Amino acid sequence: MKKFLTLFVLIMISFSSVLFSARPSKNIRILVVTGGHDYKKEQFNQMLGSLGPDITYEVTGFPEAFDMFLPENRNKYDVLVFYHMWQKITDEQSKNFADCIREGKPVVAMHHSICAFDDWPEYWNIIGGKYFHKPTTFKGKEYQPCSYIHDLHFKVKVAATSHPVTQGIEDFEIFDETYKGYYVEDGVTPLLTTDEPSSTPVIGWAKKYGKSKVVVLQSGHDAPTFENPNFRKLLKQAILWVY
């Protein structure tokens, strides 16, 4: 009898470990991190709400958001979505931030998130890009301050047609802000490009940082992009892919 009981207990333990180690297929909890730049909250939240019943969101802002990178808070969400342009960071905050992502918390970074943390190059390594506000030397190369232009109609080309992030998306038009002259890390997978002369050609990419997948989408300045069905689809597929 004791043997059977032991066997039963062992089966239950292995069964429950399978149950609890598997990531839930539903309900991806995204933590949207804002701060350092204004945006149209209502339309932005409508976009987040449009991502479907499997993606739930919480919006937080810097500097409070730094606490969410602490080890004890990392199980409160599944995917980080950056929509911030925060600059100030302490050594301790930057360590927790980088560790959190290196150890497995995936990231989707949108738009002015590539303009954040002017004085913290490890952030540029995390997302694989940087919009420079001042002349900067990085990895032996000199960069001049980047430029931006608002309210342009331009064509977004899908560069990686078979990638899960761009699957089912054809080249499309967008009305958005362009950035020119920003750094894009060697070796990233380009997902989206544009021929618009006021933009750096690669405007969307995928990469890894530590154990995490990272996707960057340069677009996303204002409501027309939040309402663009192709952008919504990209954002959703980016979240599903990094998760």
Tell me how far, at minimum, the Cβ of 40 lies from Zn ion, in Å. Answer: 11
By CB under 5 A, is residue 221 in contact with Zn ion? yes
Q: Which is nearer to Zn ion, 151 or 173 (CB)?
A: 151
Q: Which is nearer to Zn ion, 123 or 131 (CB)?
A: 131
Q: Which is nearer to Zn ion, 74 or 111 (CB)?
A: 111
Tokens at 55, concatenated: 């993606």
Nearest to 81 by CA among 43, 55, 99: 55
Q: Which is nearer to Zn ion, 86 or 241 (CB)?
A: 86
Q: Which of residues 85-144 bind Zn ion (CB under 5 A)?
A: 112
Tell me how far, at minimum, the Cβ of 67 lies from Zn ion, in Å. Answer: 26
Closest residue by beta carbon to Zn ion: 221
Tell me how far, at minimum, the Cβ of 203 lies from Zn ion, in Å. Answer: 13
Tell me how far, at minimum, the Cβ of 220 lies from Zn ion, in Å. Answer: 8
Q: Which one of 15-23, 69-77, 135-143, 174-182 is the stretch in contact with Zn ion (CB under 5 A)?
A: 174-182
Q: State phi, psi for 109 to the nearest 5 degrees.
A: -110, 130
Q: Which is nearer to Zn ion, 34 or 96 (CB)?
A: 34
Size of the site for Zn ion (CB under 5 A): 3
Tell me how far, at minimum, the Cβ of 9 lies from Zn ion, in Å. Answer: 58
Q: What is the 3-state secondary structure (H, E, C) of the chain?
A: CHHHHHHHHHHHHHHHHHHHHCCCCCCEEEEEEEECCCCCHHHHHHHHHCCCCCEEEEEEECCHHHHHHCHHHHHHCCEEEEEECCCCCCHHHHHHHHHHHHCCCCEEEEHHHHHCCCCCHHHHHHHCEECCCCCEEECCEEECCCEEEEEEEEEEEECCCCCCCCCCCCCEEEEEEEEECCEECCCCEEEEECCCCCCCCEEEEEEEECCEEEEEECCCCCHHHHCCHHHHHHHHHHHHHHC
Tell me how far, at minimum, the Cβ of 143 lies from Zn ion, in Å. Answer: 19
By CB under 5 A, is residue 177 in contact with Zn ion? yes
Q: Which is nearer to Zn ion, 54 or 227 (CB)?
A: 227
By CB under 5 A, is residue 84 in contact with Zn ion? no
Q: Which residues contribute to the site for Zn ion (CB under 5 A)?
A: 112, 177, 221
